[in-house]
Amino acid sequence: MSDIFDPNTEVFAQIDGSMGRITLNRPEKKNAMSQAMWTRVADAVSALDTVPEVRVIILCSSTPTSFSAGADISELEVIATDPVRREANREAIREAQRSLARAKKPTIAQISGPCVGGGCGLAIHCDFRFASDAARFGITPAKLGIIYPLNDTKQLMDLVGVSAAKSMLFTGRLLGAIEAEKIGLIDRLTTADALNKAVEEFAGELAVVSQYSIHGIKHNMQRILDGQVDDDKQSEKMFLDAHESDDAVEGVKAFLAKRPAKFTWFHGGD
């Protein structure tokens, strides 16, 4: 395993084979997110997205007792009196979350313990959420007298539907892992002991298929989430050009020969 950022910092990144891990590392504060940590998450995603051997980006915690308790409330108290700092913090949060949602590579949140407020905001912007049965989820602006951002609200609604999103946001209540799975907030529920293995096995499945395909499919899905409803010249060209790609040639040959495909395309930040 190789380090991208210093593992002694509050957010660090490492490469482990085809997996890139971003670790929240402020256990004494239950990974409460400071402005510097939001910025660090975005930097880590950007860095891992350009590493050719990394096929999947995993967001996790250095402690199994908490994914993230949300924003650092003591810092918010200071930010509330400073408009310039408040806007910088808003931009840092937005960039961290958008970096996960719009990474070229698949992103997985590995969740154990509380996943609340801004921590839940990070998780819902990942492509997938795997959680242990000890996880708890909540988005709590209504308990703080603040308003949840529109982009984050849309992300939550896209995942769980309008009614469940209203229930979470209007009450600020905490959901157990079973309820979170039931409403579609998480994709896979495991025991605490099985969580890391489940994440790594799924990451392995993503790593062996065509990264060219994943790159293009994720791009199209993001355009749909942004409001695109039909093909245009760009999406038509992507579909047609794909048939001539090296991965498509290899995929067809492998299928006909009844052997595993050896895909060679990778995303390296282009």
User: 210-257 has which CATH code?
Assistant: 1.10.12.10
What was the pLDDT predicted at 1? 66
What was the pLDDT predicted at 267? 63
What was the pLDDT predicted at 160? 97
The strand ranges marked E within 64-181 are 107-111, 114-116, 128-132, 136-138, 175-176
Burial 146-171 (b: 16+ CB within 10 A, else e): eebeeebbebbeebbeeebbeebbee
Q: What is the third-level CATH fold of 2-207?
A: 2-enoyl-CoA Hydratase; Chain A, domain 1 (3.90.226)
Amino acid, res. 88:
A
11 within 8 A of 40, measured Cβ to Cβ: yes
Cα(29)–Cα(48) distance, integer angstroms? 26
pLDDT class for 6, splitting at 50, 70, 90? confident
pLDDT class for 270, splitting at 50, 70, 90? very low
Q: What is the DSSP letter of 143?
A: G
What share of the chain in percent tops pLDDT 90?
Answer: 84
3-state secondary structure at position 185: coil
pLDDT, tens only, 30-85: 999 999 999 999 999 999 999 999 999 999 999 999 999 988 888 877 888 889 99
Alpha-carbon distances of 188 from 14, 128, 131, 135, 235, rounded to whole Å: 23, 9, 6, 12, 31
Q: Would you list the domain boundaries of the chain?
A: 2-207, 210-257
